[in-house]
Amino acid sequence: MNEVQYTPRELLACVAARLISDGESVFVGTGLPLVGALLAHKLHAPNMMAIYECGAVDPEPRVLPWSVSGSWTYHKAPVILSMTSVFGHSRAGYADVGFLGGAQIDMYGNINATCIGDYDHPKVRLTGSGGANDIASLCAKVIFMGLHLPERFPERCDYITTPGFLDGPGAREKAGLVGGGPWRVISHLGVMGFDEETCRMKLISYHPGVTPEVVQQFTGFELIIPDDVTETPKPTEEELRVLREEVDPNQLFVF
């Protein structure tokens, strides 16, 4: 039997979908997080509630929105709030999972989307937080998605736009952050989590065609690599069918 073929971005979308449980409220983001959320809703999480930064809550988009502010995010939404109200609901504890991206993520899950280099004299000035700081500070679990390169996975971020575990155990609590902090990191090389005692990033699985050694080679700090680390399961035929036929048939994000 021929092996099912898939693209790297299809794998990432499937991995993101698997991390969403039925009944969770999910602060989705533009791109693969949005694809993953819709895929999870169709496959195994029919009671998942998507929250969009623009204010729409639990809509039923007929086509894949091009962004979290696209008009289809409002289709059949039972609740449409303002942006401030959406984040207020997160502060009240109604957001279980938040998806984020950024230019850098460090060993403690802090994210930089502000600048590369010194803040006052940066090499590159980036877009800044948007709602990312709110999501990371308030959601019960945070999932980061991004490319895996040494300069994007430094030991310490050049600037902390979005708090992870800050400088280690107890730091989030000391800072008064109510959310649970970073939970998973999905890169094009593998899936990472965080050690409960040290709050440092650890490897959970490496993608097909990759090894733990390769993941470490492309990380700018020493990853915790448990003995039981495994290969990321490949997309199933059903995952790919739903993804290609129902979620992103025009290959807007998974080409």
What single-letter amino acid sits at 83? M
d(CA 58, CA 237): 27
Checking DSSP bridges between strand 201-206 and strand 190-194, what pairing results, if any? Answer: antiparallel
Q: The tokens 């623009």 sit on which residue? A: 54
For 130, the token pair is 């948007």
For 111, the token pair is 């994210």
d(CA 44, CA 234): 17
Query: Looking at residue 71, what DSSP letter applies?
Result: G
For 251, the token pair is 């290959």
Residues serving a catalytic function are 53
For the packed helices 8-18 and 32-43, what is the interaxial angle rounded to 10 degrees?
60
What single-letter amino acid sits at 200? R
Q: How many residues does the chain have?
A: 255
For 49, the token pair is 């509630």
Residue ranges of alpha helices (H) inside the chain are 8-18, 32-43, 83-91, 132-138, 171-175, 212-217, 237-242
